[in-house]
Amino acid sequence: MAETLLIGQLVRFDADPLVEGPAAARHDARGAVLIRDGKIADIGQADDLRARHTGAELVDHGQRLILPGFIDAHAHYPQTGIIASWGKRLIDWLNSYTFPEEMRFGDRAYAAEVARRYFDLTLANGTTTVASYCTIHPESVDAYFEQARARGLRALAGKTCMDRNAPDGLRDSAQAAYDDSKTLLHKWHGVDRLSYIITPRFSPTSTPGQLSALGALWAEHPDCLMQTHLSEQTDEIAWVKGLFPEARDYLDTYEAHGLLGAGGLYGHAIHLEPRELDRLREVGAALVHCPTSNTFIGSGLFDMGLAGGAIRVGLATDTGGGSSFSMLRTMAAAYEIGQLRGRALHPAQLIWLATEGSARALRIADKVGRIALGMEADLVVLDLGSTPAIEQRARRADTIWEALFPTIMMGDDRAIAEVRIAGRTVQAG
């Protein structure tokens, strides 16, 4: 059987560095990964693996760094065309940019065109798995999954459900949300490397009846994830309180309708109240940190002190409210927000958040996000000297972390030397 042996620097993790600190990371200055049948079949020192696997195709990356492919735990692929639009906070952003663009996704050809462009951009930036919101149109879900399947990607997504506070043409109903989501779930969930996510956009755009319908669907399919937004901006929270006067807090608008659980993904979660934090910990839910989005539309500063231990935290671009398709730029923004919150995240912690941390949030850490035996060989290779500015700083480095950090802070798609999906090269710098 065909085997490929990748040689380069390796970074692996024995534990969660947000809990155990940077010592949880292991660095091999001259390591190797053997790929067989799309999975990682051996790992170790380069000389040892070369001796053990003499028939393998050899790909020597020298001083480049081999990592798990980046995992984006929260994105809106339909917003690809409106990324970096000027000057709006959340509610104005939705009305001015998002909703007009999402209206177009009932057109299957348009949805397919954007899905193709989106995956071209994410792969060019080293992202190998994405969890995305689609639009209310089933065509938008089909387009996303068709493109992901054609490329062999592990991908997650769901139809975004809204039955109020949205324009004509972007509202469904409680019954339609349930019926369409169930049909799409049965069509796509578990096909190849695809997973369906039940997706109410957020409480302001769903009536209690729709939230309950989606809660019932989740109860029928507990192996699926559920994704939504939570406590992104203070004016949004005030809006929710007005729409749900009986709710104890924002999280309660989901909890009361069966939308709080271990498979829940709650995007942003910046302005949480003590009860909300307690409940999220109790049920084992995951939060998703979207740093470029939070600064771009002025939402606030996520508390990375919540990460590790009882609450799982993933990292995400939140494109197009987020201002970049790059998980490197997202890591840099997470570092900057951490500084403003008084916590300087170590490069090991940033890399872990963008790989295994996001995989844990999405409950796929048994498949991707780690360089470990038996894992799917979704890998990215980083050039740690991709630009003159980065190279001159990295040249001074005494440790792998000093060499890697300039790429985290200043790197872009030029740093992506190679991307492999299930062992196959799909992007080469």
Instruction: Based on the fold, state whether residues 64 and 14 are members of the same structural domain.
Output: yes
Q: What is the pLDDT of residues 147-188, one digit of tens each?
A: 999 999 999 999 999 999 999 999 999 999 999 999 999 999
What pLDDT sits at residue 91?
83
What pTM was computed for the model? 0.97
Average pLDDT over residues 28-48: 98
* Residue 155 belongs to some domain of the structure: yes
Label residue 365 by pLDDT band (50, 70, 90): very high
Instruction: Based on the fold, state whether residues 210 and 268 are members of the same structural domain.
Output: yes
Tokens of 276: 């909300």
Q: Write the DSSP assignment of 151-211 as a string of letters.
A: TT-EEEEE-EE--SSS-TTS---HHHHHHHHHHHHHHHTTSTTEEEEEEE--GGGS-HHHH
What pLDDT sits at residue 305?
83
Average pLDDT over residues 299-308: 85
Instruction: Based on the fold, state whether residues 278 and 198 are members of the same structural domain.
Output: yes
Residue 307 has pLDDT above 80, yes or no: no
Q: Which 3 state secondary structure label does DSSP give 291?
A: helix
Instruction: Based on the fold, state whether residues 252 and 130 are members of the same structural domain.
Output: yes
Instruction: Based on the fold, state whether residues 333 and 406 are members of the same structural domain.
Output: no
Q: Domain holding 12: CATH number?
A: 2.30.40.10
Last residue of a domain, one of 340, 361, 382: 361
What does the alpha-carbon distance between residue 156 and residue 98 come to, in Å, rounded to a whole number?
A: 21
What does the alpha-carbon distance between residue 210 and residue 175 come to, in Å, rounded to a whole number?
A: 7
Average pLDDT over residues 398-409: 98
Instruction: Based on the fold, state whether residues 152 and 234 are members of the same structural domain.
Output: yes
The residue range of the domain holding 8 is 3-69+371-428
Residue 354 has pLDDT above 80, yes or no: yes
Residue 323 has pLDDT above 90, yes or no: yes
What does the alpha-carbon distance between residue 335 and residue 366 come to, in Å, rounded to a whole number?
A: 27
* Residue 204 belongs to some domain of the structure: yes
What does the alpha-carbon distance between residue 127 and residue 424 come to, in Å, rounded to a whole number?
A: 14
- The overall average pLDDT reported for the chain is 96
Average pLDDT over residues 198-203: 98
* Residue 83 belongs to some domain of the structure: no
Residue 96 has pLDDT above 80, yes or no: yes
Instruction: Based on the fold, state whether residues 395 and 346 are members of the same structural domain.
Output: no
Tokens of 26: 């292991």
Strands 25-36 and 39-45: antiparallel
Instruction: Based on the fold, state whether residues 217 and 308 are members of the same structural domain.
Output: yes
Tokens of 311: 């609450």
| Angle of CA points 241, 244, 245, to nearest 5° | 70
The total number of structural domains in the chain stands at 2
What pLDDT sits at residue 1?
64
Tokens of 406: 């300039």
* Residue 81 belongs to some domain of the structure: no
* Residue 79 belongs to some domain of the structure: no
What pLDDT sits at residue 200?
98
* Residue 324 belongs to some domain of the structure: yes
Instruction: Based on the fold, state whether residues 163 and 251 are members of the same structural domain.
Output: yes
CA atoms within 13 A on the CB side of 136: 27
What pLDDT sits at residue 92?
86
Residue 310 has pLDDT above 80, yes or no: no
What pLDDT sits at residue 240?
98
Residue 324 has pLDDT above 90, yes or no: yes
Last residue of a domain, one of 337, 361, 385: 361
Q: What is the pLDDT of residues 118-146, one digit of tens each?
A: 999 999 999 999 999 999 999 999 999 99
Q: What is the pLDDT of residues 249-303, one digit of tens each?
A: 999 999 999 999 999 999 999 999 999 999 999 999 999 999 999 999 899 999 9
* Residue 82 belongs to some domain of the structure: no
Instruction: Based on the fold, state whether residues 150 and 21 are members of the same structural domain.
Output: no
Label residue 309 by pLDDT band (50, 70, 90): low
Last residue of a domain, one of 342, 361, 380: 361
What does the alpha-carbon distance between residue 331 and residue 337 come to, in Å, rounded to a whole number?
A: 10
| Structural contact between residues 353 and 151, judged by C-beta atoms closer than 8 angstroms | no
Instruction: Based on the fold, state whether residues 400 and 329 are members of the same structural domain.
Output: no
What does the alpha-carbon distance between residue 93 and residue 147 come to, in Å, rounded to a whole number?
A: 27
Average pLDDT over residues 13-28: 95
Question: Distances from the Cα of 10 to the Cαs of 7, 143, 345, 353, 375, in angstroms?
Answer: 9, 35, 20, 17, 15
* Residue 313 belongs to some domain of the structure: yes
**CA torsion angle for 295, 301, 304, 306 (degrees, to 10)?**
-130
Instruction: Based on the fold, state whether residues 253 and 115 are members of the same structural domain.
Output: yes
Q: Domain holding 333: CATH number?
A: 3.20.20.140
